A and B are shown apart, each in its own frame.
Chain A
Amino acid sequence: MMMKNILVLVFNDLAIAYKNKTFFLILFIPLFIFASLNLIDGTNAEASKIKIGLIQNYAYSPEITGSIKATKLIEVTWVQNEDEGVGLLKGRKIDGMLTGNEKVNGGLALLVLKKDSLHTIAVVRSFSALQKAAERSGPDWITEINSLHEGGFQRQTLPTWIMMLVLLVGFIILPAQVAEEKEKKLLLALLQTPITEIQWLIAKLILGMSLTIIALLFLHMLGQFGPVPLTDYVAFILAGSFCFSAYGIFLGFLCRNQASARTLGVIFYLPHLLPTAMSDVSQKLSSIAPFLPSYQLYDPLQKILLEDGQWTNMFFDWSYLILLGTLLLYLSYLMMKKRWLM
């Protein structure tokens, strides 16, 4: 009898898990991991081909150019000048660029996006192996490594933390709160006062944006991220928090209860966070990530915080975030008017 009761309860719990969409989460996460692993460029970054930019007018030593041509591990892209190489590097078209090192006669400086990355390690190791094969001994070919991204490790990871917080508020906190107000009929109670649907939506939007800004202020108080270009930074933080708060409200309206909203939130959170955050270490992901709204926040933040980028040069990304947020807010408004799942 006891076993029967336990079995009945287990089946009931499974039915609840199915009803509140927890099952989708259980199936989704392994599927997402599988897809992500297939999208990342192999498990061993060292084994993949390295793309190096060389400047056409620079006189590289014949040993170096000869060794590079002889190996299949390195793919060379010739660039007109350093600016063109920097452009390719920012666009993740090459892994690094070799220029002259003014400090060491005959030495080369390697310019990379990030110093502490798998790509940089792979480039240095490949050149070290080439040098060993060509010369056996002698001074290192690469005598300096310069990073395009400025600042220390904390600052370099700041765009990832920001995105994590913005998406957390947007995909986890807000949908659950909206769904709770629907589930407990509190939203309907509020709509029995003279407030309008738009006022309620704007209040929720302000809540989401405020939570994000408080979290970011706290993050800046605790971390040592250095000074930020305030106007450009604030412009994107506001646009990002607006877009993902609107996204969260929209997700909340798609769900009847809190449990469903949390599940749906995680289902949206991971695919927006991980491919974008991992786009720096994978060329495949860097070609997929731009299709995600989260990348339109992450990439400009990287440029503003690490590459001295300016808001005015990223107007497309900014407009994209604002337009997407406005569209989602409008859809939420329509669902609210129709008393969708209330």
Chain B
Amino acid sequence: MQLEIRNIAKLYDQKRGLKPTSFDVDKGELIAIVGHNGAGKSTLLKMLANWILPDGGHVMIDGIDLKNRAAVVRSVGFIPEDPNLFDFFSVAYNLKLFALLSRIPFLRVEEILSEFDLQPFRKSKVQTLSKGLKQRVNIGRALLSDPEVLILDEPTSGLDFEMTREIYHLLNKMHDAGKTIIFTSHRPEEIRNLATRILVLHEGCLIFDGSPQEYFQSDIHQELYS
């Protein structure tokens, strides 16, 4: 097992957030986390990415506690819903900055630029790019260190059909490369096409953990999208 999540919890104002939640993730799984807004999906992902600290519980990645940030920082790549890039700098600058800080050779930046079809935009300032392109840069940046686990918070939110398809393609490609992927989504077709496993959160509690087939045949899916 690659990820061991035990009783991880984070409550805001004693109500919203995530109640103690436990589950395991095996290497190479592509997990979709679904649920209504405020169900605790983003909170869970942000805790896995070390963005927020849990009130309790722990997360182990390949046997190492997530609290040991230095040891696991290269193992997890997090892509938030809104791209968090240095807007006033170019695409190449952003990637090179993070490559420098992560001690990754610039050759890898060139690989990412080519792999994500970003070469034509390498000198463009991030603030001039569309949301889809920014998201592509964001995913590229997260993949610079070639992390084993990739966490995406609503990766296709606000994207048009073409861009959404591109993101699906990228996720499939990364999954084929053996990466473990966890993402949140509100789109049934996205979950059906991509996920190998589905977790459903409701009011901060994990209420379903199963395969897409089980999920789409269950009442939970009907209740969530009725």
A residues neighboring B (CB under 8 Å) = 184-186, 188-196, 338-339, 342
> Once the chains are docked, how many angstroms separate the CA of A195 from the CA of B84?
17
Most-contacted residue by chain B among A190, A192, A339 (CB, 10 A): A192
B50 touches A191 (CB 8 A): yes
Bound: A194/B145 CA distance, A: 10
B59 at the interface (CB under 8 A from A): no
Is residue B98 within 8 Å, beta carbon to beta carbon, of the partner chain?
Answer: yes
Is the CB–CB distance between B51 and A194 below 8 Å?
Answer: no
Q: How far is the CA of A184 from the CA of B87 in the complex (A)?
A: 10
Residue of B whose beta carbon sits closest to that of A337? B53
Residues of A within 8 A of B87 (CB): 184
Interface residues of B (CB under 8 A from A): 49-53, 69-70, 73-74, 76-78, 80, 82, 84-87, 98, 101-103, 141-142, 145
When the two chains form their complex, are residues A185 and B82 in contact, meaning their CB atoms are under 8 A apart? yes
Is A190 within 8 A of B101, CB to CB? yes
* A186–B86 alpha-carbon span in the complex (Å): 7
Please report the C-alpha to C-alpha distance between residue A194 and residue B101 in the assembled complex, in whole angstroms.
Answer: 7
Partner of B84, one of A184, A193, A194: A184
Task: Closest A residue to B142 by CB, please name it.
Answer: A192
Q: In angstroms, how far is the closest chain A Cβ from the Cβ of B30?
A: 21
Query: B77 to chain A: which residues have CB within 8 Å?
Result: 192
Measured in the bound complex, the distance between the Cα atoms of B76 and A189 in whole Å is: 12
A132 CB to nearest chain B CB (Å): 68
Chain B residue contacts of A196, Cβ below 8 A:
70
12 pairs, CB–CB < 8 Å, chain A vs chain B? A184-B87, A186-B84, A186-B86, A189-B85, A192-B50, A192-B77, A193-B102, A194-B70, A194-B101, A194-B103, A338-B53, A342-B52
User: Would A192 and B80 count as touching, CB distance under 8 A?
Assistant: no
6 nearest CB pairs, A to B: A185-B84, A193-B101, A193-B102, A189-B84, A188-B51, A195-B101
Evaluate contact between A188 and B74: CB separation under 8 angstroms: no
Contact B53 A194 (CB under 8 A): no
Is A193 a contact of B51 with CB atoms below 8 Å?
Answer: no
User: Smallest Cβ distance from B146 to chain A, in angstroms?
Assistant: 13
A193 adjacent to B82 (CB under 8 Å):
no
Taken together as a complex, chains A and B put the C-alpha atoms of A331 and B53 apart, in Å, by 18
Instruction: Give the docked Cα–Cα distance between A192 and B80 (Å).
Output: 12
B73 touches A188 (CB 8 A): no
Please, which residues of chain B bring their CB within 8 A of the CB of A192? 49-50, 73, 76-78, 142
**B residues within 8 A CB of A339?**
51-53
Q: Which residues of B contact A188 (CB under 8 A)?
A: 51, 84
Cross-chain contact of B73 among A184, A186, A194 (Cβ < 8 A): A194
Q: Closest residue to A187 on the B side, CB-wise?
A: B84
In the bound complex, what is the Cα–Cα distance between A193 and B73 (angstroms)? 6
Q: Which of B76, B80, B102 contacts A194 (CB 8 A)?
A: B102
Query: Complex formed: what's the CA distance from A57 to B18 in Å?
Result: 83
The interface centre, meaning the residue of A185, A190, A194, A196 with most chain B CB atoms within 10 A of its CB, is A194
Q: Report the Cα distance A191→B76, complex, angstroms.
A: 12
Taken together as a complex, chains A and B put the C-alpha atoms of A159 and B3 apart, in Å, by: 58
CA distance A194 to B50 in the complex (A): 13
